[in-house]
């Protein structure tokens, strides 16, 4: 094992792998990759092996079709072909929701789909209409009649999601009704036969609000959450695939990470933590978009990551030692090293500004940034130096 120099702090690097196809043993493929890493002295105790959710789900052949979605929605909401279904708070996304919307519309091909979008943005910050125009209207419920001929293109993708979703529904034969409101109860004014609370992070709150007035309501994680191809996350974390296929989030992710962790310990003698990661939990300051369209940054993680990242405010301590106590650089270094082992209360000044964050969220976000979502070709990321 090659030991990193003491002057190297936390670091992360991606491991390149070949294409992962359905039916491949993902644990074996990742193990082969990290074994090479170990052979080159780059894997040690306390490291974290992060595997992107896409290759895990692909290896599991975890795909469904638009027809599968349509059948499930019709069955679970007891919808007829000419029924009316309301979709409350879907995010504005071609990759994440366009295929789901097509499946919803296909469930009622002679009926109606009422889509209630939040405004001026969806829950992850995608702009639906101009904030200035929304303020100009000053209404709690905005209909297409209120918008008249106004068009609102997403500032990044250039897509008008109101028109985009309306066209998807119409192509399936159903009648689209689009409304904008941040009160989920407005969808009930259109007398739906069933409701889908389609938001991601606030879905349970939305469902409870609706359930107080209308019982026949389900969330996205209750669709495609059983059967041969399924995920315990249902449609949450799903992505557009080829043709009419949709890739679900991995299933039984906890079992995958535990098996991989045990394999590395048994065959390589190294104690690592393992996670399956998706979207990073960060907000783009330029676009205002919160990138987390998955239900959480890590779909599964071994027990050693069930903790919070916290610590001492080194900048504050160094300034205090220098300005108030006249310590030398050597004395400050010694004090900081000693402070790491001090048992300090959470509300002390030394910890001020170090907001505790879930370790799996921090590491999954870092892994997502390293691997990217384009063509980096590094579906496995090794993180070193975060766990003490």
> How confident is the model at residue 282, as a pLDDT?
85
Phi/psi at 73 (5° precision) = -65, -45
User: In which residue ranges of the chain is pLDDT below 70?
Assistant: 1-3, 308-324, 327, 329, 331-356, 373-376, 388
CB contact burial 256-295 (16+ within 10 A = b; e otherwise): bbeebbebbeeebebebbbbbbbbbbbeeeeeebbbbbbb
Phi/psi at 269 (5° precision) = 70, 25
> For every residue of 201-269, which 3-state class applies, written as one string?
CCHHHHHHHHHCCCCCEEEHHHCCCCCCCCCCCCCCCCEECCCCEEECCCCCHHHHHHHHHHHHHHHHC
> How confident is the model at residue 272, as a pLDDT?
96
**Contact yes or no for 370/4 (Cβ under 8 A):** no
* 3-state SS assignment for residue 133: helix
Ranges of beta strands (E only) in 292-379 are 298-301, 308-309, 357-358
* 3-state SS assignment for residue 143: strand
266 Cβ contact partners less than 8 Å away, ≥ 6 residues apart: none
> How confident is the model at residue 349, as a pLDDT?
45
The C-alpha atoms of residue 44 and residue 270 are separated, in whole angstroms, by 6
CATH architecture, domain 11-62+250-308+358-384? 2-Layer Sandwich (3.30)
> How confident is the model at residue 318, as a pLDDT?
64
pLDDT tens digits, one per residue of 311-332? 556 566 666 666 667 767 676 6
230 Cβ contact partners less than 8 Å away, ≥ 6 residues apart: 62, 64, 224, 248, 251
> How confident is the model at residue 332, as a pLDDT?
60
> How confident is the model at residue 306, as a pLDDT?
85
pLDDT tens digits, one per residue of 17-58? 888 999 999 999 999 999 999 999 999 999 999 999 999 999
> Taking the domain 64-226, which CATH number applies?
3.40.50
CA end-to-end distance (rounded Å), the chain: 18
């Amino acid at each position: 094992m090659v030991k990193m120099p003491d002057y190297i702090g936390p670091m992360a690097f991606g491991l390149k792998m070949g294409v992962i196809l359905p039916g491949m043993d993902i644990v074996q493929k990742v193990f082969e990759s990290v074994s090479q890493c170990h052979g080159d002295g780059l894997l040690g105790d306390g490291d974290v092996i992060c595997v992107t959710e896409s290759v895990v789900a692909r290896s599991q052949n975890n795909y469904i079709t638009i027809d599968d979605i349509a059948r499930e929605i019709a069955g679970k909401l007891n919808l007829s072909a000419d029924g009316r279904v309301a979709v409350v708070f879907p995010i504005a996304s071609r990759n994440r929701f366009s295929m789901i919307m097509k499946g919803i519309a296909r469930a009622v091909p002679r009926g109606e789909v009422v889509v209630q979008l939040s405004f001026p943005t969806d829950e992850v910050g995608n702009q639906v209409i101009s904030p200035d125009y929304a303020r100009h209207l000053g209404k709690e419920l905005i209909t297409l009649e209120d918008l008249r001929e106004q068009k609102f293109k997403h500032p990044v993708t250039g897509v008008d999601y109101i028109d985009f979703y309306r066209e998807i529904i119409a192509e399936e034969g159903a009648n689209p009704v689009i409304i904008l409101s941040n009160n989920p109860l407005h969808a009930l004014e259109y007398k739906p036969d069933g409701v889908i609370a389609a938001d991601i992070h606030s879905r349970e709150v939305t469902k409870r609000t609706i359930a107080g007035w209308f019982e026949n309501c389900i969330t996205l994680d209750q669709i495609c959450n059983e059967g041969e191809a399924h995920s315990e996350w249902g449609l949450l974390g799903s992505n557009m695939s080829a043709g009419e296929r949709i890739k679900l989030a991995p299933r039984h992710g906890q079992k995958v990470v535990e098996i991989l962790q045990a394999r590395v310990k048994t065959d390589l003698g190294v104690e690592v933590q393992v996670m399956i990661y998706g979207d990073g939990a960060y907000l783009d300051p330029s676009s205002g978009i919160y990138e987390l369209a998955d239900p959480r940054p890590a779909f599964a993680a071994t027990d050693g990551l069930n903790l919070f990242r916290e610590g001492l405010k080194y900048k504050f301590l160094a300034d205090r030692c220098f300005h108030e106590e006249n310590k030398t650089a050597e004395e400050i270094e010694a004090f900081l090293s000693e402070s790491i082992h001090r048992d300090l209360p959470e509300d002390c000044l030394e910890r001020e500004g170090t907001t505790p964050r879930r370790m799996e969220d921090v590491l999954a976000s870092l892994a997502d940034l390293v691997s990217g979502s384009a063509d980096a070709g590094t579906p496995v990321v090794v993180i070193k130096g975060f766990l003490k």
